[in-house]
Amino acid sequence: MSVAAVRDQLFGYLNGRFYYGWVILSIAGLGLFTSGPGQSHTFSVFVDPISADLGISSTEIASAYGTATLFAALCLPFAGRLVDRFGPRRMASAIVLCLGLACLFFGAAANVIWLAFGYGFLRFFGQGALMLTSANLTSRWFAKKRGTAMGLMALGFGASIAVHPPLAQFLIETVGWRTAWTYLGLLTWVQMLPAIWLLVIDSPEEKGLSPDGAIRSRPTEGVGETKNDDIPGLTLPEALRTPTFHLIWFSMASIAMLVTSLHFYQVKIFTAQGLDPTVAAWVFPITAGTMVAMMPVVGRVLDRLKTRYALSLALLVQASALLMVTQVSNVPTAVFYAALFGLNNACSMTLFGYIWPRFFGRRHLGSIQGTGQMIMVVGASIGPLPIGYAFDTFGSPTLMIQGLALYPAACAVLALFIRTPAGVPVEEHLE
């Protein structure tokens, strides 16, 4: 029996008991978890062992990492177009295979150039392409419940934050940092490839369904631009000509840029304001716990509240977190900030997959989402620079951070003017 026949049988069995989109959602969440080897929280555990083994400085590692992140960002629109052309199942399979190979390649790094290429492959296939494909897949299967679905999918990322750093540390201590990457690559294949091959179906239309489970008059065949003509949405050039696209990327870049800045400099900011470094590290789990708890809540809000209002509120949370971090002076204020920042992260992770199909449809979602995600990652790569400049020049980042809070605050006002472009269907209560 072929893999396709097994997949069809599993679909018939499971969809007869509940909407198959929930299976797709679970696999997409597993995809975010599997992206862990390409994420910053996993890399952070390897910095010191790599530095000691290769004899390179932390600055050289950071430079290689930043350059690789920019490379990954610039390749994302191409990855998005491939998802549109070949469908998320084929692309996810290829991406996971390449992510595993990238882990093996990275573990064999012999110098800083090799390391930079390894970072680039891991960032592109893990943090970039796999996250993009997972969000794309969920967006195809959910519309009215898309916000809830995205919030639940993002729990996979929270699980990665909880699992991958301690797992990586255990592997480093047990088998060394190089062999650790071999294990991470093999785990990537084992946990993701069978699920993709046996369970992933590109869209509900292929099985005579519509998003959220409504029955269609007929199934569509295949994937790509020429066959799913009845799936609504704009092309990338059409999206780029709308004010909505530019308002959204400007706002989402704000979130990506400043979330990265606060993650990158949290310990340094806290210690500069008189706290012990252990306190700064101790509040990270509070942020992660709040993020995981709030992501489903944020998703429900996105399904019920006008989208422009929800985006505006998320941006105000971002501005509030920036202002609050400058007021941290003791444990209670640190805990309050950590919880507020966790809410901010929940908003950013849920909006990451929700916002693009909401305003531009599913028809060419890969290319549109890839372009939008590219802008966000570029923003994330340059985000820490202003705060670093303030530390080096003024000795304190307080005024710089407070000034940066004006960026998301201004975007919160601009978000109120966002409207759905013509030709994209939308639930009336969301507009």
Q: Is the pLDDT of residue 223 over 70?
A: no
CA distance 165 to 163: 6
Q: What residues contact 110, with CB distance under 8 A and at least 6 apart?
A: 54
Residue type, 65: Y
Q: What is the average per-residue pLDDT within 7-20? A: 90
User: pLDDT above 70 covers what percent of the chain?
Assistant: 95
Give yes or no for residue 226 having a pLDDT over 50: no
Whether 212 and 21 have beta carbons less than 8 Å apart is answered as yes
Q: How many CB atoms lie within 10 A of CB 194?
A: 11
The mean per-residue pLDDT over the stretch 68-84 comes to 85
The distance from CA 130 to its chain's CA centroid, rounded to whole angstroms, is 9
Residue-range domains of the chain with CATH: 3-213 (1.20.1250.20), 236-422 (1.20.1250.20)
- Residue 16 φ then ψ, to 5°: -70, -15
Decide: 176 and 62 in contact? Cβ < 8 Å: no
Phi/psi region, residue 219 (left: phi>0; alpha: psi -120 to 50; beta: rest), is: beta
The confidence score (pLDDT) of residue 164 equals 86
Task: List the beta bridge partners of residue 209.
Answer: 215
Condensed to tens digits (0 to 9), the pLDDT of residues 306-346 reads 999 999 999 999 999 999 999 998 999 999 998 999 999 89
Is residue 91 a contact partner of residue 118, using CB atoms and an 8 Å limit? no
N-terminal to C-terminal alpha carbon distance within the chain = 47
The predicted structure's pLDDT at residue 216: 58
The residue among 212, 292, 277 whose CA lies nearest residue 18 is 212
C-alpha span between 36 and 116 (Å, rounded): 18
How would residue 372 be classed by pLDDT, with cut points 50, 70 and 90?
Answer: confident
Mean pLDDT, residues 232-259 taken together: 90
Rounded distance between C-alpha atoms, residue 157 and residue 339, angstroms: 18
Q: What's the pLDDT at 352? A: 81
Residue with tokens 């882990």: 103
> What's the rounded Cα separation, in Å, for the pair 252 and 420?
16
Higher pLDDT, 160 or 281: 160
Residue 214: what are its φ and ψ, rounded to 5°? -65, 145
Q: How confident is the model at residue 97 (pLDDT cuts 50, 70, 90)?
A: very high
Q: Say what the pLDDT of residue 215 is.
A: 63
| Residue 292 CB contacts under 8 Å (≥ 6 apart), including other chains | 155, 158, 346
Are residues 228 and 359 in contact, defined by beta-carbon separation less than 8 angstroms? no
pLDDT given for residue 261 in this prediction: 79
Dihedral pair phi/psi, residue 215, rounded to 5° = -80, 135
Mean pLDDT of all residues in 347-368: 88
Mean pLDDT score across all residues of the chain: 87
| pLDDT at residue 224 greater than cutoff 70 | no
Query: Given this model, what pLDDT does residue 332 score?
Result: 92
Q: How far apart are CA 302 and CA 429, in angstroms?
A: 11
The answer to whether the CB of 382 falls within 8 A of the CB of 299 is no
Single-letter code of the amino acid located at 301:
V
Residues 6 or more apart whose CB falls under 8 angstroms from that of 322 comprise: 258, 262, 401, 402, 404, 405, 408
Q: What value does the mean pLDDT take over residues 363-377? A: 85
Q: Are 418 and 244 in contact (CB under 8 A)?
A: yes
How confident is the model at residue 23, as a pLDDT? 94
* 121 close to 102: Cβ distance less than 8 angstroms: yes
118 CB-near residues (< 8 Å, 6+ apart): 68, 102, 105, 106, 109
- Report the predicted TM-score, pTM, of the whole model to 2 decimal places: 0.79
Closest CA to 208 of 200, 198, 199, 217: 217
Q: Is the pLDDT of residue 1 over 60?
A: yes
CB-based contact 312:95 (threshold 8 Å):
no
